[in-house]
């Protein structure tokens, strides 16, 4: 390993392996910013229940929500949890997860700033002070990190993403991955291709293919240890404004996704963890199950049979229903719902359609 000592490399490789194995296990993403978390928790209050909370009360509410979910998260289905820096450094909740055998990770990206002269596309901040931040996160118990870059995607006619934005996102993710490994944390690079516009499935798959290929080109330039890294992409899919959206089947999504991954993700990478991106929990289950079912039944001669672990790193799809119960004060139902969806995604990542 030209850029890592054998000890550092082996630790990164072991953590990356443990996040996606044994087959079925996946990651729970809970790294919303404090403001986004407050909005989510407000949105599930029963009608008329909205209270004006002070800053301290809001902080206490965020902490209580995370504590409740981390106490409930089932370690037989969930390998890791992504924490916001507030949860890791201020609430100090990593030991609660580690004591259950769940690996804590940290969100490394900061906020978005528009690319000058490129409408609706963004540069993601957080690279400048990343090394000391990730070293502090490691000292607080984190063993992996995640960096999300949004990628706009529309039909060829409207033309998103711009080639410039693809280059910026790939370079940013590769810099992040190299720094994360320098701090001793397994990097999860997250190219999040948006599906709100008018791209069809073929266009979305093409954009995924271009984005992910460029990321691995830049990772190579930065000397990232691929065996000690993971990727968290979106599922290729038609945009909400494309008429085929209502007709597309999980099997079509599965073929497009397996094709993209087999063409772009080097076989040295131990796993792919999909994001849910605002899809319903049901849809997120079906897409993941169809993908794994396709891979498991593929012939040994097919490139699909050689794909790495394909699992989940879901946020909204995993905690959407629990949060609704929690907002109504039913904490037991919230804990049960978290277990129910963790188990459903575990089955899906094993290709088991229930």
Burial of 249: CB neighbours in 10 Å, binned 0-12, 13-18, 19+: exposed
Do the Cβ atoms of 203 and 156 come closer than 8 Å? Answer: yes
* Angle, CA 106 vertex, CA 105 and CA 110 arms, to 5°: 160
| Least distance CB 164 / ligand 13P (angstroms) | 22
Q: Could you tell me which stretch among 121-129, 157-165, 213-221, 275-283 binds ligand 13P (CB under 6 A)?
A: 275-283
Site for ligand 13P in 72-101 (CB under 6 A): 82
Strands 122-124 and 144-151: unpaired
Closest by Cα among 31, 147, 131, 5 to 84: 31
- What one-character-per-residue DSSP string does 88-153 give? IIIS--HHHHHTTT-EEEEE----EEEPTT-TT-EEEP-STTHHHHHHHHHHTT--EEEEEEEE--
Q: Could you tell me which stretch among 4-12, 40-48, 269-277, 301-309 binds ligand 13P (CB under 6 A)?
A: 269-277
Among 317, 323, 337, 344, binds ligand 13P (CB under 6 A): 317
Question: Across the strands, what pairs with 191?
Answer: 149
Return the number of the residue (40 or 265) whose C-beta is nearest ligand 13P: 40
Q: Could you tell me which stretch among 49-57, 176-184, 250-258, 311-319 binds ligand 13P (CB under 6 A)?
A: 311-319
Question: Across the strands, what pairs with 29?
Answer: 82
Contact letters for ligand 13P, residues 117-146 (x by CB under 6 A): ------------------------------
Known catalytic residue at 232: yes
Q: Could you tell me which stretch among 51-59, 116-124, 252-260, 273-281 binds ligand 13P (CB under 6 A)?
A: 273-281
- By CB under 6 A, residue 104 contacts ligand 13P: no
Return the number of the residue (271 or 315) whose C-beta is nearest ligand 13P: 315
| Least distance CB 84 / ligand 13P (angstroms) | 10
Among 276, 281, 292, 342, binds ligand 13P (CB under 6 A): 276
- By CB under 6 A, residue 314 contacts ligand 13P: yes
- What one-character-per-residue DSSP string does 256-271 give? HHHHHHHHHS-TTS-E
Q: Which two tokens stand for residue 195?
A: 């599906």
Q: Which of 25, 66, 232, 286 is catalytic?
A: 232
- Any idea which residues carry the catalytic annotation? 232
């Amino acid at each position: 390993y030209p850029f890592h000592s054998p000890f550092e490399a082996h630790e990164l490789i072991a953590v990356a392996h443990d996040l996606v194995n044994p087959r079925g296990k996946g990651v729970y993403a809970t790294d919303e910013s404090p403001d986004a978390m407050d909005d989510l928790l407000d949105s599930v209050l029963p009608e008329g229940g909205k209270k004006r909370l002070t800053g301290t009360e809001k902080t206490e509410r965020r902490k209580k929500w995370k504590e409740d979910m981390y106490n409930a998260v089932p370690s037989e289905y969930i390998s890791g949890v992504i924490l916001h820096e507030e949860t890791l450094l201020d609430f100090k909740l990593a030991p609660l997860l580690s004591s259950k055998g769940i690996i804590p990770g940290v969100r490394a990206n900061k906020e978005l700033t528009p690319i000058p002269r490129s409408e609706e596309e963004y540069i993601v901040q957080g690279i400048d002070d990343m090394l000391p931040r990730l070293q502090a996160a490691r000292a607080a118990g984190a063993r992996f990190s995640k960096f999300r870059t949004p990628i706009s995607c529309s039909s060829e006619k409207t033309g998103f993403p711009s080639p410039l934005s693809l280059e910026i996102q790939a370079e940013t993710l590769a810099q992040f991955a190299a720094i994360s490994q320098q701090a001793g944390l397994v990097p999860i690079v997250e190219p999040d291709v948006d599906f709100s516009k008018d791209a069809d499935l073929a266009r979305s798959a093409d954009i995924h293919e271009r984005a992910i290929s460029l990321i691995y080109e830049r990772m190579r330039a930065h000397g990232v240890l691929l065996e000690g890294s993971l990727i968290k992409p979106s599922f290729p899919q038609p945009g909400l404004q494309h008429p085929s959206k209502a007709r597309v089947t999980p099997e079509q999504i599965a073929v497009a996704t397996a094709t993209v991954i087999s063409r772009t993700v080097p076989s040295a990478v131990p796993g792919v963890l999909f994001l849910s991106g605002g899809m319903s929990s049901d849809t997120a289950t079906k897409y993941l199950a169809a993908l794994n079912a396709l891979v498991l039944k593929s012939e040994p001669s097919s490139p699909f049979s050689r794909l790495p672990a394909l699992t989940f790193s879901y946020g909204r799809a995993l905690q959407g229903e629990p949060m609704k119960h929690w907002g109504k004060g039913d904490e037991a139902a919230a804990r049960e719902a978290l277990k129910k969806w963790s188990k459903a995604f575990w089955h899906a990542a094993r290709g088991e359609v229930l």
